[in-house]
Structure 1
Amino acid sequence: MDDDTWIEQGQNISTPNELREYIAALRAEVHHMQTGLARAAAGALSGRAWNNTPGDERPNHDDLLRDHLDMTATPTGMAAKDAVYRQSLAALLVALDAVDRATLTVWLADINAKDPNRPA
């Protein structure tokens, strides 16, 4: 999307259905950002692009965060600049996940408001 597309779309919404569509589009965009960033981070950390990494060697999202990015203690010998960079990437991935979860919560709230007993 262009820089102003989200703003332009948001300021023209006037119905609940339009809001639902906007949130669905937001969720899709955030999911794509999260997936792309995770793959880029995995490639940068391994020195091998995601597309050039065999499928069985590709870390899943949780493994990437746990094993390579999110640190409660810095591994022995790692420079502070590398630790801060990795922790920053972890924070950004977690933030994108939080937005993804929040948009799912909005969707569930909308369903609940219409029919609390409907299967999600």
Structure 2
Amino acid sequence: MDLDDDTWIEQGQKISNASELREYVAAIRAEVHHMQTGLARAAAGALNGRSWLDTPGDERASHGDVLHEQLDMTVTPAGMAAKDAVYRQSLAALLVALEAVDRATLTVWLADISAKDPNRPA
């Protein structure tokens, strides 16, 4: 990963019409989905001590399940160290932020459809 890579900024600077903007938002949505999936699988592997690839298919959780069942806490479980609780909450916050971006890109898509034909089924 190149931290100096400004690909998204470079692409954004070149957009000059609504069609290009739609493509850009679709690309963002695809990237966010990949990040959500990858982060959830990595978190599940770290928490369970077994990588995603080494986990039987029927035991693999979706990113939503990892978030709600293993990371997001309203109450810290008894005996959990503060450092572990902070780590889990940080991962949960990242997954929630990615979910917010995913929802925002869907909203942009729906707004575009609605602007063209407000009565079209979504």
| Per-residue deviation, 1:65 | 1.5
**1:114 corresponds to which letter in structure 2?**
K
Preserved CA contact (<8 Å) 2:44 2:66: yes
Match of 2:47 in 1: 45
**1:5 corresponds to which letter in structure 2?**
T
Match of 2:99 in 1: 97
Match of 1:65 in 2: 67
Preserved CA contact (<8 Å) 2:71 2:92: yes
| Per-residue deviation, 1:36 | 0.4
TM-align CA RMSD:
1.2
| Per-residue deviation, 1:63 | 2.2
What is the total number of aligned residue pairs between the two structures?
120
* Aligned sequence identity (%): 82
Q: Would you identify which runs of 4 or more consecutive aligned residues in structure 1 move more than 3 Å?
A: none
Q: 2:97 is paired with a residue of what secondary structure? A: helix
Match of 1:5 in 2: 7
Partner Cα separation in structure 2 for residue 61 and residue 38 of structure 1: 5
Partner Cα separation in structure 1 for residue 101 and residue 65 of structure 2: 20
Partner Cα separation in structure 2 for residue 67 and residue 97 of structure 1: 16
Match of 1:75 in 2: 77
Structure 1: segments with no counterpart, 5+ residues:
none
Q: 2:53 is paired with a residue of what secondary structure? A: helix
